[in-house]
């Protein structure tokens, strides 16, 4: 079985062309291929499929085999995968995801996609749609206890759940301790991705992320969008900002006119490979 290894700012996935056919047991395959010692090594697995309602469909699994509703770094690479492999010649694409249809604008240089802009849609703030246990219309800067320490948490869904916390110095945080404590916290029925954000200035955020199902990753596209939304809602940032992640930077804009969040960033192909059919 052929696969392509790609990354968006170091948030790396195995990509399969499932437009004709695809393997079964994708959760199990995601776990096996993601293993950084006994497999290919990745943050998860992404299958590109045909769609009845969009140009194509993205199906995404984390390294633990759980399915994610949306993947920002992943969908940029899906755009590159489709164009570079000649599955499309369009530079504007719609991709069906479990979080709805997303529109991509591919930026081509020298016949290959170098970066992609994604309309990530509107952020979801109502607790029961995130989901997070909590009354009211939104879950903004609410104090919760995590491992005996009080944190002010803002929850945002970009189709997948995010808990955003603002900290003075992201480098001093022990994510191995705090990441799982948030991910598996009782108030998140479907677990959560967690963004630890340091505000450099009103147009620059620095962020580390512990991803649901994958652990700390070098970057998280949906997480960067959630972080920007939380920063705007708490008057920490303007509506357009550079979000600096361990693997590099994304430009994120929360457009006032349509309420949509737009994200622009790179997409890179690392290598093509062959996985033994099992």
Ligand X SMILES: N[C@H](CCC[C@H](N)C(=O)O)C(=O)O
- As a whole number of angstroms, the distance between CA 202 and CA 237 comes to 4
Comparing CA positions, the residue from 16, 20, 1, 71 lying closest to residue 48 is 16
Q: State yes or no: residue 62 binds ligand X (CB under 6 A).
A: yes
Chain residues 18-57 in contact with ligand X, contact rule CB under 6 A:
none
| Nearer of residues 4 and 214 to ligand X, judged by Cβ | 214
Is 220 in the active site?
yes
Query: Considering 47, 77, 155, 220, which one is annotated as catalytic?
Result: 220
**Is 208 among the annotated ligand-binding positions?**
no
Segment holding 49, helix H or strand E: strand 44-49
Chain residues 120-159 in contact with ligand X, contact rule CB under 6 A:
none
User: What is the nearest approach in angstroms of ligand X to the Cβ of residue 12?
Assistant: 10
Q: Is 175 helix (H, G, I), strand (E, B) or coil?
A: helix
Report yes or no: 259 and 252 within 8 Å, Cβ to Cβ.
no
| Nearer of residues 160 and 166 to ligand X, judged by Cβ | 160
Report yes or no: 17 and 273 within 8 Å, Cβ to Cβ.
no
**Is 41 among the annotated ligand-binding positions?**
no
> Quick one: which of 4, 97, 193, 194 contacts ligand X (CB under 6 A)?
193
- As a whole number of angstroms, the distance between CA 102 and CA 57 comes to 10
Is 77 in the active site?
no
Report yes or no: 163 and 188 within 8 Å, Cβ to Cβ.
yes
Chain residues 206-265 in contact with ligand X, contact rule CB under 6 A:
211-214, 217, 220-223
Name the residues that contact ligand X, by CB under 6 A. 11, 62, 68, 71-74, 160, 193, 211-214, 217, 220-223
The residues carrying an active-site annotation are: 71, 220
């Amino acid at each position: 079985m052929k696969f392509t290894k790609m990354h968006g700012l170091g948030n790396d996935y195995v990509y399969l062309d499932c437009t004709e056919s695809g393997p079964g047991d994708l959760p199990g395959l995601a776990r096996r291929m993601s293993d950084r010692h006994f497999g290919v090594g990745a943050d998860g697995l992404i299958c590109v499929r045909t769609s009845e309602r969009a140009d194509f469909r993205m199906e995404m699994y984390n390294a633990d085999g759980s399915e994610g509703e949306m993947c920002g770094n992943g969908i940029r690479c899906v755009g590159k995968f489709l164009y570079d492999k000649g599955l499309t010649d369009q530079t504007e694409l719609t991709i069906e995801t479990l979080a709805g249809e997303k529109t991509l604008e591919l930026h081509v240089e020298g016949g290959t996609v170098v970066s992609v802009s994604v309309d990530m849609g509107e952020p979801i703030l109502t607790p029961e749609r995130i989901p997070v246990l909590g009354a009211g219309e939104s879950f903004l800067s609410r104090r919760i206890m995590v491992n005996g320490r009080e944190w002010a948490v803002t929850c945002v869904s970009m189709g997948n759940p995010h808990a955003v916390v603002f900290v003075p110095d992201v480098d001093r945080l022990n994510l191995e301790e705090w990441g799982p404590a948030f991910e598996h916290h009782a108030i998140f029925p479907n677990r959560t991705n967690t963004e630890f954000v340091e505000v450099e200035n009103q147009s620059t955020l620095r962020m580390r992320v512990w991803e649901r199902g994958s652990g700390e990753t070098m970057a998280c596209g949906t997480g960067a969008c959630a972080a920007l939304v939380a920063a705007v809602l708490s008057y920490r940032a303007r509506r357009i900002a550079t979000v600096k992640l361990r693997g590099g930077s994304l430009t994120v804009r929360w457009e006032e006119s349509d309420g949509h969040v737009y994200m622009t960033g790179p997409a890179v192909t690392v290598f093509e490979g062959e996985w033994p059919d099992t």
